[in-house]
Structure 1
Amino acid sequence: MESVLRPVAVIGGSLAVTLIAGWAADLVLRRAAARHPETPLWGLLRHCRLPFQVVLCASLLRGAYRQAGILPDHAFVVGSVLNLVLIASVAWLAVRIATAAVDSVYARYAATAADEARVRRVRTQVTLIHRVVSAVVIVVAVASMLLTFPQMRAVGASMLASAGVLGIVAGIAAQAALGNLFAGLQIAFGDTVRIGDTVVVDKEWGTVEEITLTFLTVRTWDERRITMPVSYFTSKPYENWSRGGAEMTGTVYLHLDHGAPVPLLREHLEQLLPGVPEWDGRAWALVVTDTTPHTIQIRATATAKDAADVWTLRCTIREQLISWLATHHPDALPRLAPPDPTPGPSA
């Protein structure tokens, strides 16, 4: 009877201690978050409750399973399983703590920083740092789990003898992957491109949506996603419209007749812009930039706060100017001479 009651008591006691400890830790964190609402760390650490409970329960059972007589005929298997669970749960807890710390630092910085570009830079850096830390923790955890088996230790010793050859082969095979890895770190700390930047790559413009250690995702204006290796942004030229500020100048070209009333068109643009919400009020202009035997080229420019607004602003200016010309000065629009219906002399 004792051989049954003792394992049940140990397992039940471990579960009870785990539940009580998890509840107490959550209560402390909840009160800390209520007292210090300016610090989001305490609230984020509450997400660590489940891995903390698994670590505690696995530790208690790992230390008492032999004395408790839990499956005494399979003690080695029980010990191995508990070791694996303990290592995996510790890694899980470490990743959750790192996530809470990174998110807390970013949230506090974003709440106080006034420069949006610097906020995007910090967001990119902390995201990549979190991915690196998570990858290191997972690799160490998997290696530790494998080393708990005596057979794997022997395999590891034999693999070390040929580590030089394997290292050369792995280096050649993983050259592209390592290049992307270092390119991702270069992007994170070189501040060349950030999450939220407006970029033009391969004649497509969009917003940087995600940056990892190996690839970068750009969301285009029509909601497509372009996924590219991060090494592209360290080896090829591209346009970053958010670098040094998101403000932009939009340009609209019109081809009109030589008799077009340019001063009146300039006055109409001046009256039009205050009613366009996308115009930021910084600057505007309308000039004749070129002439051909049939038309003149008019260039109208206006400023906007970002790439999305400048696109809408250009479309509005183009539509309104053409509509005004067609209504008040239709003779200013270019006219094409009709083809001569009289056939020429035959050769």
Structure 2
Amino acid sequence: MSLSRYDPRSWQFDPGAALEILIDLAVPTLLALALHWAAFLLLGRIVRASQTQVDNSVVAAVRSPARWAVIAAALAVASAADPRIAAGWAVIAAYLLPALVGWTAYALIDGLIAGLELEAEASEDPVTMRARRTRTSILGRTAKVVVVVITVALILFQLPGVRQIGVTLMASAGLAALAVGAAAQPALKSLIAGLQMALTQPLRLGDMVKVEGQSGRVEEIRWSFVTVRTWDERLLVVPTVRFLDGIFENWSRVSERLTGPVFLYLDPATEIAPIRAEFERFVASQPEFDGRSASLDMTEARPESVELRVSVSAATIADLWNLRVKVREHMFDWLRREMPDALVRHRLGAAPVEQGVEPPPR
């Protein structure tokens, strides 16, 4: 019946028919909700007995979409039994079913990501933890975007006008692909760079890196950019392709165990043995020192000064920084108290040169 010929007065409300429709909808819906409650009660007991946390997160994430999925299944059963319900269900189902499937898939991926991140945090190896978190974050974000795009496309293609547009575009798919590829080249490059970052992992979440002369911890890895938090709380936003096309330093790629230097510039007449003995005594008493490497070497000898390189090692980057600060402060304080003549002083004048005597070459 067309809208121009439709007369609202011709429609009459039938209480008996309305009651039958409500009963036909309510009975399977209540049964479906009871089945959903029983099923997740059983699943909850099963996952609580397991050793992994992934299934707990997955079950908690899919509980809500599963509830609406069983309600949709109940409505489908009711529509099969009552032609009056089938007329309305046929219109709603075309849009509701793709949305429910997409919602369930999205929730499943979200629960899986949350469970894997909890498993990664429970790992005793920090390198393994960062690797799992990075891979889970990037691949999970990619999968969720794919699910959203496919779900929206399936819903839109139920509209007749959109379906005709899709057929037209498919007829000219070659030209459309060239146009989209040219316009979306930066986005595709960033997407490929993000996936490559997840698979090859030149850096991971939590790694200490140095890029563009700045060092800090990797806080977030996106398709198009990476955020790095510096020691002074600044946030560097670096394009992802910069880490794949350029050179950067990753100080915690394999482990955080590093060796760092402290440089001392002293008078050339300084005796080195007492300084080395004091350095070894002090480092051995520090809790940050991991016992792997502690050495004092003269790396440069100039007429006005000598350079001593003090090398120390620590189990983490933070411990190494604190240990280097302590060694530098202690050694200069000890030198000022015990060997003040070892410290280099800039002299404003020089002794007069005897007449006819050339100064020694430098």
Task: Tell me the TM-score normalized by structure 1.
Answer: 0.86
Matches of 1:64 and 1:214 in 2, distance apart? 48
Who is 2:177 aligned against?
167
Q: Which residue in the other structure is 1:13 paired with? A: 27
Q: What's the counterpart of residue 194 of structure 1?
A: 204
Q: Where does the alignment leave 5 or more consecutive residues of structure 1 unmatched?
A: 341-347
Query: 2:22 is paired with a residue of what secondary structure?
Result: helix
- Which residues of 2 match residues 43-82 of structure 1 at below 5 A? 43-44=56-57, 45-62=59-76, 64=78, 67=82, 69=84, 75=88, 79-82=90-93
Check the 8 A contact 1:10/1:68 in 2, yes or no.
no
Deviation of 1:71 after TM superposition, in Å, equals 11
Number of matched residues? Answer: 334
Contact 1:32-1:42 at 8 Å conserved across structures: no
CA distance in 2, matches of 1:270, 1:335: 26
Please tell me whether residue 138 in structure 1 is matched to residue 148 in structure 2.
Answer: yes
Q: Distance in 1 between matches of 2:209 and 2:28?
A: 55
Alpha-carbon distance between aligned partners in 2 of 1:10 and 1:256, rounded to the nearest angstrom:
94
Q: Structure 1 residues 225 and 11 mapped into 2: Cα distance closer, same or farther (>3 Å)?
A: farther
TM-score normalised over the length of structure 2: 0.83
2:318 matches 1:304:
no
Deviation, 1:319, is: 0.8
User: Aligned with 1:231: secondary structure?
Assistant: helix
SS of 1:245's equivalent in the other structure is: coil
Q: Is the 8 A contact 1:286 1:301 kept in 2?
A: yes
* SS of match in other structure, 2:262: strand
Counterpart CA distance in 2 for 1:6 and 1:232 is: 66
Separation in structure 1 between the aligned mates of residue 340 and residue 309 of structure 2, nearest angstrom: 19
Letter in structure 1 aligned against 2:175 = V
| Corresponding residue to 2:189 among 179, 197, 201 | 179
Shift of 1:288: 1.7
Deviation per CA, 1:191-245: give whole Å up to 9, x if none.
Answer: 3222222111111111222223333222222333322222111100000111233
CA distance in 2, matches of 1:195, 1:316: 29
User: What is the percentage of aligned positions where both structures have the same residue?
Assistant: 33
The 1:320–1:330 alpha-carbon spacing in structure 2 relative to 1, beyond 3 Å, is same
Q: Distance in 1 between matches of 2:155 and 2:194?
A: 29
Cα distance per residue 1:76-98 (max 9 Å; x no partner): xx644443233222111112223
Q: Please say if 1:88 is aligned against 2:102.
A: no
Q: Does 1:217 align with 2:230?
A: no
For 2:83 and 2:326, the matched residues in 1 are separated by: 79
In 2: Cα distance, 1:151 partner to 1:26 partner: 41
Match of 2:52 in 1: 39
Structure 1 312/169 Cα, relative in aligned 2: closer, same or farther at 3 Å? same
CA separation of 1:255/1:170 partners in 2, compared to 1, >3 Å: closer, same or farther?
A: same
- Paired position in structure 2 for 1:345: none
Deviations 1:248-293 (A, max 9, x none): 1111112222233321111111111122222111011112211333
Q: Which has the larger radius of gyration?
A: 2
What CA RMSD, in Å, does the superposition of the two structures yield over aligned residues?
Answer: 2.6
Distance 2:227 2:36 in 1: 39
